[in-house]
Structure 1
Amino acid sequence: MPTAVKQEKEDNTIKRSNSSLNFKKLVPKVLRSSSMKNPFKSKKPRTPVDIVRETRALLLYFHSGDDAGNPKRDEKLEQLDADIRELKSILYGIDESEPVPEACAQLTQEFFKEDTMRLLINCLPKLNFEARKDASRVIANLQRQPVHSRLIASDYLEANLDIMDQLITGYEDPVVALHYGGMLRECIRHQVVARYVLKPEHVKKFFDYIQLPNFDVASDAAATFKELMTRHKSTIAEFLAENYTWFFAEFNSKLLESTNYMTRRHAVKLLGDILLDRSNAGSMIRYVSSKDNMRVLMNLLRESHKSIQIDAFHVFKLFVANQNKPADIVNILCANRTKLLRFLTGFNMDKEDEMFEADKAQVMKEITELEPTTSFSCSGELFKPISV
C-alpha cells in the first residue's frame, strides 16, 4: 500500500475516535442517562377513565364552595369546560369519526361508578353556556350507552331517584331550565324514572310549568310532559286509572281551556294521543262518557285555529262513536244536531285526506241517526258553530 494512502486511513481513524471521545466528554452524564426526557416525545394520551376522574375532582372542588375568591378558579373552570367537551367528543365522535364503543363503555362505567352525574347537575349553573350545553349532551347520551348489553344508567338512577326532583324544579330557573328539561326527557326513557316522575306531586307541577310566561321554557315543559305521558304505556295506564279524576280535571281547566293558544294546541293534540292509545282504553271510556268533557271539546271545535279544530275533532269523534253513550250526551248531540251537521259539512282539511273524510262521514251518520231519550230537553243545546 502506498505510504500516502496508508497515512490518510490512519488520520481518519484517529478523527473518528476523537469525535466519539469528545462527545462523551462534552455531554454531561445526566443528559446521557436513560431517564433523560425527550423534548419531542408527545404526552401520553389520557384514557376516558382519566378524563372522568379529573372531571369528578374538579366538580367536587366547585361543589364544595372552595372556588369562591380562589385565584385559580378561572383556570380550574377552564379545565373543567375542556374535560366536559372531551367527554362529549368521546361519546359523539369528532367531525366524521364515529365514537369508539370500547371508549364509550369505559367512560360510562367510570361515570356511574360514583356520583359524577349528581355533581355535574349541581354544578351546572356555575358553567358557561357552551359548557352547560355540552354537559347536557353528555348526560343525555349516557342514558343510552350500553355496557355489556345493560343500561347501567338505569341502575344508577334507580338508586338516586331524588336527582329527578332537582331536574323537575329546574323549570323554575330560566338559566338552567332548558338544560335540565333535556336531561329529564332522556332520563324518562327509563321506566323506573318515569314511574317516579308520575307521582301526583310531580305531575301537578307540569300543569303550572306549561303555562309559564317564558315561551321557550313553557314549550320545553310541554315536550317533557308529552314524553312522560306517552312513552311507557303500561305505567301511564296505571297512573291514569289511579289518578283519573284530578288529572283530567286539571288537564281540562289548565290546559284545554287555557287562554294561551300554544297551550291549547299542544294539550288537545296530547289528549288525542293519550285517549287513542289502546293501553288507555279504560280511561278513554270514562272520559268520553262525560258531558262536561264533551262540552270542552265542542268549544275547541269552534276555535278559529284550524289545527286545534282538527285535533279536537279526533277526540270529539270518540264521544260520538261510543256505543254506550250516557243519556245526557245523547241529548246534547241531538239538541245540537242541525248545527253540528252544518258545521261538519263545511269542515275540511287543507289537503285531501281520505281517512279524515271517512271519519267525518261516520260521525255525521251517527249524529243523524241518534234518537233522544225520554228525558230529552232543548236545554242541551250549546254548540254555536263558526265559519270554517
Structure 2
Amino acid sequence: MYTDSSNVRIGCLATNMKSIFKSKPKTPAEIVCRTRDLLVFLNTNSSSTTFREAKREEKLLELSQHIRELKRILYGSTESEPVPEACAQLTKEFFKKNTQLLRLLIIFIPKLNLRACKDVTQVVANLQRQQVQSRLIASDYLDANKDLIDVLISGYEEEDSVLALAYGSMLRECIRHQSIARYVLESKHHMKKFFGFMNLPNFEIASDVSSTFKELMTRHKSTVAEFLTKNHDWFFIEYNSKLLENPNYITRRQAVTLLGEVLCDRTNSAVMMRYVSSMDNLRIIMNLLRETSSKNIQLEAFRVFSLFVVNPNMPSDVLGILVVNSNKLVRLFGGFNTDKEDKQFDADKAHILEIIAALEPKDHY
C-alpha cells in the first residue's frame, strides 16, 4: 500500500518528467525557418491532387500559428514587452537572401484566413522599422527585390477588399524607405495607376489608395520635389482632371487639401511658382472656390488661390483673369469665414482682398 509520501514522490517524478520532455521554445531563427518551410510546402503542394484537404488544413493552421508567433516577438504581448535582441535576430533571418520569406508571404497571402492576413500585414509593417546594426535592412532587401513593390501596387486591383487593403497597408510601410518611394515615383506607369485607383467604386479601397498616395507625395520631400520638377506637366494634368475636377466630393476635398500641403512646402517652391503661373490651374481652383455647398473645399481652395494672388511674377493671362473677376472675388470673400474664430485666416483674407482690389490690367488688356 502506498503512503502519502510515496504519492508525493510519484507526483514530483511525473512533474519532472514533463519538464524534461517539454519542447524548448523556438528561437526567432527557427520560427522564421519553419514559416518559410511551411510556405514552400503549401505553395508546392496546394494544387496537387494527392494533397489531402485535412493535411492542407493542418499545415495552414501551423503556418498561422507561426505567423502569430512572429508578430508576438515583434510586438510583445500583454505579459511582456518585445525583446530588442530577439527582434533583431528575427529581422536578420527574415531578410536573408536565401530565405525570401517576404516574397513567399506576399505570394501566399490570398490563401490565408482573415486573422492570418492581418497578422502578416502587421509583421511586414513592423519589420520595415527594425534596425540591425543601425541599418534598416528591409530597405536593402526591397532595393534588390523591387518587383515585390509592383505586386503590392497591383494588389489594389483585387476585388476582395480585405486583400486589397492588406496590400495597401504593406505598400505604405515599404514607401517609408526613400529608395522605394523614388522607385514608385519614377514609374509613370505606377503613378498613373494611382489616379485610376483613387476613382475605384469601392470607397474603402479608394480611401486607402488616397492615404498611400498622400504618404508618397509628402514623406520624402526632396525626392518628391525632384519628381514634380521632372514630371510637372503630365502629373498636374492628371491631378487636375482625375482629382480636382472629380465629381466625387470626398475625392475633390482630399485632392485640394493635399495640393495645398504640397505647394506650400518650401522644398517645392519652384514647383509652386510653376503651378501658379498657369491660367488653366487658376480656373480650376476658382471653380472650387465657388463650391458654396462645401466650406471645407472652399477654405482649402482659398489656401491654394492665395498663392496665385501673391505671386510676384504673375503672368499676364493669370492677372487678366483676376482683374476681370475681381469684383466677384471681393464679394465672395466678403462672406468667407471659418467656423471658429481664426485671426490668422482673417488677416490672410484681408491681405488677399487688398491685393485683388489693387490689381490693374497690363497694357494689352
TM-score by length of 2: 0.91
Partner of residue 338, structure 1: 327
Once the two structures are superposed, the pairs formed by residues 1-388 of structure 1 within 5 Å of their partners are: 38-41=17-20, 42-66=22-46, 68-69=48-49, 70-71=51-52, 72-113=55-96, 114-175=99-160, 176-198=163-185, 199-303=187-291, 304-376=293-365
Q: Distance in 2 between matches of 1:334 and 1:317?
A: 15
Contact 1:61 1:67 (C-alpha < 8 Å) held by counterparts: no
Q: Distance in 1 between matches of 2:268 and 2:279?
A: 19
Partner of residue 4, structure 2: none
Amino acid paired to 1:181:
G
Q: Distance in 2 between matches of 1:315 and 1:363?
A: 12
Q: Where in structure 1 are there 5+ consecutive unaligned residues?
A: 1-31, 377-388
Stretches (4+) displaced over 3 A: 65-69
**1:328 Cα deviation after fit:** 1.2
Q: More displaced, 63-72 or 88-97?
A: 63-72
Q: Distance in 2 between matches of 1:223 and 1:68?
A: 40
| 1:113-136 deviation digits (Å, cap 9, x = unpaired) | 121001001100000011000000
**1:63 Cα deviation after fit:** 2.2
Alignment RMSD: 1.3
**1:58 Cα deviation after fit:** 0.8
Q: Distance in 1 between matches of 2:175 and 2:347?
A: 37
**1:375 Cα deviation after fit:** 2.5
How many correspondences in the alignment?
341
The share of aligned pairs that are identical, in percent, is 59
| 1:174-226 deviation digits (Å, cap 9, x = unpaired) | 32110010100100011110111112111010000000000000000000001
Q: Distance in 1 between matches of 2:213 and 2:39?
A: 30
**1:319 Cα deviation after fit:** 0.3
Contact 2:39 2:105 (C-alpha < 8 Å) held by counterparts: yes
Q: Distance in 1 between matches of 2:152 and 2:174?
A: 10
Contact 2:217 2:224 (C-alpha < 8 Å) held by counterparts: yes
Amino acid paired to 1:272:
G
Q: Distance in 2 between matches of 1:96 and 1:230?
A: 37
Q: Where in structure 2 are there 5+ consecutive unaligned residues?
A: 1-12
Q: Distance in 2 between matches of 1:174 and 1:90?
A: 32
Q: Distance in 2 between matches of 1:326 and 1:96?
A: 65
Amino acid paired to 1:375:
H
Q: Distance in 1 between matches of 2:342 and 2:183?
A: 40
Q: Distance in 1 between matches of 2:81 and 2:214?
A: 31
Q: Distance in 2 between matches of 1:229 and 1:64?
A: 39
**1:68 Cα deviation after fit:** 4.4
Amino acid paired to 1:88:
K
Contact 1:143 1:151 (C-alpha < 8 Å) held by counterparts: yes
TM-score by length of 1: 0.86
Q: Secondary structure at the match of 1:165?
A: helix
Amino acid paired to 2:101:
T
Q: Distance in 2 between matches of 1:372 and 1:348?
A: 29
**1:67 Cα deviation after fit:** 5.5
**1:283 Cα deviation after fit:** 1.0
Q: Distance in 2 between matches of 1:94 and 1:39?
A: 26
**1:358 Cα deviation after fit:** 1.4
